[in-house]
Amino acid sequence: MNRRGFLRSSAVFGVGAAALAASLKPLLELKDFSSMEKFLQKYYREMTPEDMEKVLTRITHEVERQYGLRPHVQDLKPMDGVSFVYALNLTRCIGCRKCVHACVAENNQSRSPEIQYIRVLKMPHGSLDIEKSEHDYNPEKVPEKGFFYMPVQCQQCKKPPCVKVCPVHATWQEDDGIVAIDYDWCIGCRYCMAACPYGARHFNFTKPLIPKDRLNPEMAYLGNRPRTQGVTEKCHFCIQRTRAGRYPACLEVCPAGARKFGNILDPESEVSKILATKRVFIQLKEDLGTSPRFFYYFDV
> What residue ranges bind other proteins (CB under 8 A)?
12, 15-16, 18-23, 25-26, 79, 82, 94-98, 100-102, 104-105, 111-114, 116, 119, 134-144, 205-206, 209, 211, 214, 242-247, 251-257, 260-263, 269-270, 273-274, 277-278, 299
CB 102 → other proteins: shortest distance, Å? 6
Which residue number, 161 or 208, has a Cβ lying nearer to other proteins? 208
CB 56 → other proteins: shortest distance, Å? 18
Which residue number, 95 or 161, has a Cβ lying nearer to other proteins? 95
Question: Do the beta carbons of residue 149 and residue 11 sit within 8 Å?
Answer: no
CB 135 → other proteins: shortest distance, Å? 7
Q: What phi and psi, each to the nearest 5 degrees, are found at residue 120?
A: -95, 120
DSSP single-letter state for residue 23:
H
Which residue number, 111 or 158, has a Cβ lying nearer to other proteins? 111
Which residue number, 24 or 36, has a Cβ lying nearer to other proteins? 24
Query: Residue 113, preceding bond cis, omega within 30 degrees?
Result: yes
Query: Residue 78, preceding bond cis, omega within 30 degrees?
Result: no
Among 185, 190, 183, 191, smallest CA distance to 168 is for 185
Alpha carbon distance 216, 197 (integer Å): 29
Helix (H), strand (E), coil (C) string for 174-243: CCCCCEEECCCCCCCCCHHHHHCCCCCCEECCCCCCCCHHHCCCEEECCCCCCCCCCCEECCCCCHHHHC
CB 101 → other proteins: shortest distance, Å? 5
Which residue number, 65 or 212, has a Cβ lying nearer to other proteins? 212
CB 287 → other proteins: shortest distance, Å? 27
CB 35 → other proteins: shortest distance, Å? 24
271 Cβ contact partners less than 8 Å away, ≥ 6 residues apart? 85, 86, 87, 260, 261, 262, 263, 264, 295
Which residue number, 92 or 290, has a Cβ lying nearer to other proteins? 92
34-53 burial code (b ≥16 CB/10 A, e <16) = eeeeeeebeebeebeeeeee
Among 62, 53, 58, smallest CA distance to 32 is for 62
CB 245 → other proteins: shortest distance, Å? 4
Which residue number, 185 or 247, has a Cβ lying nearer to other proteins? 247
Which residue number, 97 or 293, has a Cβ lying nearer to other proteins? 97
CB 40 → other proteins: shortest distance, Å? 30
